[in-house]
Amino acid sequence: MPHWIGLYLHVPFCLRKCSYCDFYSCKGNNDLYDKYTSALLAALGRYGEGGGYEADTCYFGGGTPSLLGPKRVGTLLAAAEKYFGLNAAEITLEVNPATASFGDFQGYRAAGVNRLSIGMQTGVDEDLASLGRLHTAIDTVRAVKEARRAGFENLSLDLMLGIPGQTEESLGKTLSLVKQLSPEHVSAYLLKIEAGTPFSLRPADEFPGEEAQVALYQSACRGLERMGLAQYEISNFAKPGFASRHNLKYWNGEEYLGLGPAAHSFLNGRRFFYPRDLEGFLSGEPPVEDAAGGDFEEYVLLRLRLVEGLTEEGVLARFGHPIPERLRRRAKPLSAAGLMEEDNRGLRLTRDGFLVSNEILARLLAE
């Protein structure tokens, strides 16, 4: 039997750091892109030779993976296919609307990419400037149209909620543009202010308060569902059949291999990661061991991010026992408060519950 995994390739290059971003990234050039591609090829070979792994998803994340260009992406996918099969795989590439042309999209499609995740963030130019993005709303429209013309039938748009100055009215303009673009998938994330980013130095009153964030999230959820994009995870919405197969691996507690600085892996019950160190990765330094993974508590944390939640069927299949009674007992008052649903199928958070998921999970899993 094949050992099925997801494959994640981190591309840590950006033309410019966005004001909110805490992901590991740096500036690059063609020479560095070539060296990095070679390092990824070597890593693919180390894990792929004789490993017995088959990948049915491959995700190029970043950074801005589209900076590598179609030729390098094609080289990496050829190696991934050699070592991991990629049979009927979902192959996703993250794209900044400012860094890809029609010719690029044609090249990515020819290389085997069949899904694009386009960093729209917002449809309001003033908000894009505030975020430090390089593109405009028109760039997003162009990118989507050119991706469609190149043959892409699976497009995802990233949106940000709770950005400086955002209101339900300005969010409505963004949602109107999303409706016009008709993507198969949308990820809509509430902004989290990370220490050390330019946003962390700005006054708190420049950002929507807690009540305003709740209103923005609820408004986005309703608006996306009216477009036929059903919510399947806290921040993710899809048309039928277009949920992200790669990201579902994370939330279902399935295995994946991440290559590149800051990339994490979960294989054979163990977790490991590459440090946030480009030079170390280029020189072939191995990843660092992390804690063991795959236990019941971790599974609960991941599955309750999904609308489907924690199911009796899933827990029995994975752990050989039903959902513990202590979890059901703790869920009952949360259910009465409208934050959870608890029934014979299992446990799941409501939309209001998603907004306070960290607090709920802490109560459910308290010693």
CATH number for the domain spanning 22: value is 3.20.20.70
* Domain housing 345: 310-367
Residue 229 lies in a domain: yes
For the chain, 367 residues long, the average pLDDT of each consecutive 10-residue run is: 90 84 83 98 94 94 94 98 95 93 97 97 93 92 98 98 93 98 97 82 85 95 98 98 98 97 94 96 95 91 98 97 96 96 97 95 90
Task: Tokens for 288, please give them.
Answer: 């660092």
Task: Tokens for 67, please give them.
Answer: 């900076």
Same domain, 37 and 121: yes
The pLDDT assigned to 192 comes to 86
Separation CA 60–CA 93 (nearest Å): 5
Structurally, the chain folds into a number of domains equal to 2
The pLDDT assigned to 50 comes to 80
Same domain, 246 and 314: no
Return the number of other C-beta atoms located less than 10 Å from residue 18's C-beta. Answer: 21
Peptide bond into 63 cis (omega under 30): yes
Same domain, 93 and 178: yes
What is the crossing angle of helices 296-303 and 312-319, to 10°? 150
Last residue of a domain, one of 250, 266, 293: 250
Same domain, 323 and 245: no
Q: Name the E strands within the chain.
A: 3-11, 53-62, 85-95, 115-121, 155-161, 185-190, 230-233, 236-238, 256-259, 264-267, 270-273, 288-292, 310-311, 340-343, 346-349
Same domain, 324 and 216: no
Same domain, 201 and 349: no
Are the C-beta atoms of residues 174 and 180 closer than 8 Å to each other?
Answer: no
What is the pTM (predicted TM-score) of this model?
Answer: 0.95
Residue 273 lies in a domain: no
The pLDDT assigned to 260 comes to 97
Separation CA 39–CA 34 (nearest Å): 9
pLDDT digits (tens, 9 = 90+) for 16-68: 877 777 777 888 999 999 999 999 999 999 999 888 899 999 999 988 999 99
Same domain, 45 and 162: yes
Residue 265 lies in a domain: no
Same domain, 357 and 246: no
Are the C-beta atoms of residues 188 and 224 closer than 8 Å to each other?
Answer: yes
- Sign of the CA dihedral 288, 292, 297, 303? positive
The pLDDT assigned to 198 comes to 77
Q: 3-state DSSP call for residue 121?
A: strand
Last residue of a domain, one of 221, 250, 279: 250
Same domain, 17 and 162: yes
